[in-house]
Amino acid sequence: MAARAALERDRVRPQADVPEAGDERGAGGGLRARPVEGETFAGGDPAQAARRALTEESPTRCPARTRAWRHGVLVAEGFPVAQLSDQLDDDPDTVVWLDLHDPDLGDLAVLTEEFGLHPLAVEDAVHEHQRPKLDRYDDHLLLSAYAVALDGDTGEVALSELAAFVTARALITVRKDDGFDPQALVSRWDSSSELATSGVAFLLHGLLDQIVDGHFTAVQSLDDHIEEVQDQLFAEVDPGQELQRRSFELRRSLVLIRRVVLPMREVLNTVMRRDLHVVDEAMGPYFQDVYDHVLRATDWTDSLRDLVTTILETRLTIQGNRLNEIMRQLTCWAAIIAVPTAVTGFYGQNVPYPGFQQPWGFVTSVALMVVIAGALFVTFKRKHWI
């Protein structure tokens, strides 16, 4: 009752300022695009995602989804949040999943009392722009991570921030926007239901696997974009400033992705530590597979970042070479043009000279201009200077 009263009081309090949809301040202060409101990264309606797990009775202001497994079998979903403790008390082999979308501190008040969540962990779960990490507390863990999506047209990265409380018998996910798709997570769990006997480790693996797969897909898409830039680099038609702008955008996206992918190595390392007793023997190889994906994504990101830097340097080199080519051509034509200028200047003297005021003198000057200029042109042409 006290927790419910506290929740009611929190509801009437003014909420903290939340960045607007156009705010591009991202993880660690970097620039990023926010997920499109009302649409998941998969393009679905977030209000309809995992519809069967969506509960209609909840003391929280925000939408909530619930699921319960008993002895590795899904036994309930979409039940009221107030029945979480009932589900856990019915059988010690029961594990539950609770998903909250954009909650505030008041929404987590009941959970704080129910699961004994640390106040600092609750605060980190609500506040935005946390660094990807895994914090350890007495009887639970707090995971902070980012789902990633790449705009195929612009190469711009969008990040969806989420947090997860990992307890002995419950996984509580806190989504701070619409980007992360809970339907994909539920489908991932259902497709590997034979592993559900591992309890929370099974749920956590599905969550981490989906996040890391998103990272890997984004890096792979960036690789395709960079290949397109490479093809334009040596195109016959100079792409101009567009290529340089595109390269800088891709480099910025790579830096941002690396900022959220690199810390996941430490997250996976910590999760797989034996003293935490989170991963059992059956789930060990699966978490190791996720860790390998993290390493590959990190290495791939570093390689692509170096490649983009090489593209920019190559672009400058090509521009320098083209400028040298143009200057050489201009110099050759200037030398050719200088020949008639010199000949006409000589014959334009106001002093008598062989052929002065004679027709053959004019013919001689024209012949000299044609022969010398032609000889220079043929010489430069053979050297491929013009």
pLDDT range class, residue 126, cuts 50, 70, 90:
confident
Higher pLDDT, 220 or 346: 220
pLDDT range class, residue 52, cuts 50, 70, 90:
confident
What is the side-by-side strand order in the sheet with 170-175?
Answer: 73-77, 64-70, 94-101, 170-175, 157-166, 141-150, 133-136
Residue spans per domain, the chain: 2-317
CB 235 within 8 A of CB 243: no
CB 126 within 8 A of CB 103: yes
What percentage of the chain exceeds 70 in pLDDT? 87
Residues 6+ apart with CB under 8 A from 200: 95, 166, 167, 168, 169, 170, 171, 278
Digit-coded pLDDT (tens) for 318-339: 778 778 888 888 888 888 888 7
Q: What is the pLDDT of residue 70?
A: 93
Q: Of 154-163, 224-233, 237-246, which range is least confident? A: 237-246
| Structure tokens given for 129 | 């722009």
Domain 2-317: state its class: alpha beta
CA gap 144, 292 in Å, rounded? 20
Residue 6 pLDDT > 80, yes or no? no
Q: What is the pLDDT of residue 359?
A: 77
Q: Of 17-26, 107-116, 219-228, 277-286, which range is least confident? A: 17-26
pLDDT range class, residue 32, cuts 50, 70, 90:
low
Q: What is the pLDDT of residue 30?
A: 40
Question: Which one-letter DSSP state was computed for residue 288?
Answer: H
Residue 298 pLDDT > 80, yes or no? yes
CA gap 326, 316 in Å, rounded? 15
pTM as predicted: 0.76
Digit-coded pLDDT (tens) for 152-211: 777 788 899 999 999 999 999 999 888 999 999 999 999 999 999 999 999 999 999 999
CB 165 within 8 A of CB 117: yes
Q: What is the pLDDT of residue 267?
A: 94
pLDDT range class, residue 382, cuts 50, 70, 90:
confident
Burial class (CB in 10 A: 0-12, 13-18, 19+), 90: middle
CA gap 312, 314 in Å, rounded? 5
Residue 172's DSSP bridge partners are 98, 165
| Structure tokens given for 79 | 């039940």
Instruction: Convert 24-44 to b/e letters by CB count within 10 Å (16 or more is b).
Output: eebbeebebbbbbeeebbeee
pLDDT range class, residue 249, cuts 50, 70, 90:
confident
Burial class (CB in 10 A: 0-12, 13-18, 19+), 315: middle
Give the Å distances, CA to CA, from 203 to 43, 144, 297.
23, 16, 22
Helices (H), the chain: 2-12, 84-90, 109-115, 119-126, 182-191, 200-233, 241-261, 263-271, 284-347, 359-382
Mean pLDDT within 109-131: 84
Q: What is the pLDDT of residue 47?
A: 79
Q: What is the pLDDT of residue 2?
A: 36
Residue 351 pLDDT > 70, yes or no? no
